[in-house]
Amino acid sequence: MVKIGMIGGSGFDDPDFLTDVRSIKKGTPFGSLSADLIVGKAGEIETVIMLRHGKGHRIMPSAINYRANIWAMKEVGVTHIIATSACGSLREEIEPGHLVFPDQFIDWTRTRKSTFHEGDQVVHMAMADPFCERLRSILIETCITEGIIHHPRGTVVTIEGPRFSTRAESRMFRMLGGDIINMSTVPEAVLAREAGICYAVAAMSTDYDTWHDSEAPVTWEMIAETMNNNVENVKKIFFRSLSKITYEQCDCRKAIESATV
Name the site residues for Zn ion (rule: CB under 5 A).
132, 198, 250, 252
207 in catalytic set: yes
To the nearest whole angstrom, how small is the minimum distance from the Cβ of residue 80 to Zn ion?
A: 7
CB 101 within 8 A of CB 139: yes
From the candidates 103, 107, 179, 207, give the one annotated as an active-site residue.
207
Strand stretches in the chain, DSSP E: 4-8, 19-24, 27-28, 31-32, 37-42, 45-51, 80-89, 99-100, 104-108, 150-151, 155-159, 180-182, 198-207
Measured from the CB atom, the residue of 47 and 230 that comes closer to Zn ion is 47
SS3 140: helix
Report the alpha-carbon distance of residue 130 to residue 143 in Å, rounded. Answer: 21
To the nearest whole angstrom, how small is the minimum distance from the Cβ of residue 30 to Zn ion?
A: 23
From the candidates 20, 36, 209, 213, give the one annotated as an active-site residue.
209
User: Alpha helix (H) ranges present in 109-219?
Assistant: 133-146, 167-175, 185-194
Measured from the CB atom, the residue of 157 and 195 that comes closer to Zn ion is 195
To the nearest whole angstrom, how small is the minimum distance from the Cβ of residue 252 to Zn ion?
A: 3
20 in catalytic set: no
* Number of helices and strands in the chain (H, E): 5, 13
Measured from the CB atom, the residue of 80 and 112 that comes closer to Zn ion is 80
Measured from the CB atom, the residue of 18 and 198 that comes closer to Zn ion is 198
Pick from 7, 59, 84: nearest CA to 38 = 7
Kindly state the DSSP code that residue 216 receives in the 8-state scheme: P
To the nearest whole angstrom, how small is the minimum distance from the Cβ of residue 159 to Zn ion?
A: 26
**Catalytic site positions:** 207, 209
